[in-house]
Amino acid sequence: MNPAKEPLKKTLVLATRNAGKIKELEALLAGYGLHVLGLGDFPDIGEIEETGVTFAENSLLKARTVAQATGLVALADDSGLVVDALDGAPGVYSARYSGEGATDERNNSKLLDVLKDVPEKDRGCRFVSVVAAVAPCGAELVAEGRWEGRVLFAPRGNGGFGYDPLFLDLELGKSAAELAPAEKNARSHRGRALRALLADWPDFWARASR
């Protein structure tokens, strides 16, 4: 079956190929009666260049591109780590912080290196996520979530992805990579953004179905 022929109200395309993001978003969307697809279901859609300078710009760019290409409602997340001592870097460049061919390991290594002389009290940071939903008709919905923390001096934990091993949740005293998936989703920037988005979901779906 062509995914684009499925009923609009039952199908949502996640505008990502990131397996970690897809897993988290699917868990957060469970219970909403949606059939969730990823970009892997649409091989004709190539890489979407993130040319925006803010999380919101990139999130909307990805969601608009996928909604237009598939004829389905698209959900995109753009997120990253904002470090106070680095004037907000790596920010929107979090996924490619270590340059061409960047990996989580290389990104984390670079972050630790540039912060090696920064004392604990000055290692404040936050994860930021902006989630955008866009319908083929042009209806849009955007929400933001933040998760405050501190950059650790060494990785901790084996879960999650990205900068999770270096992000300390100050309240729990654990890194994001030490949290169980459900616990992380309850506290994370992406979870907060998606819950804010879903608070307005009924109105958005009504507009999306016109």
Q: Is 78 a catalytic residue?
A: yes
Closest Cα to residue 20, out of 187, 183, 164? 164
Place of tokens 């030490």: 178
Longest dimension (CA), the chain: 56
Closest Cα to residue 189, out of 159, 169, 165, 166? 169
Catalytic hit among 78, 87, 169, 203: 78
- In angstroms, the CA 87 to CA 66 distance is 32
Residues with a catalytic annotation lie at 78
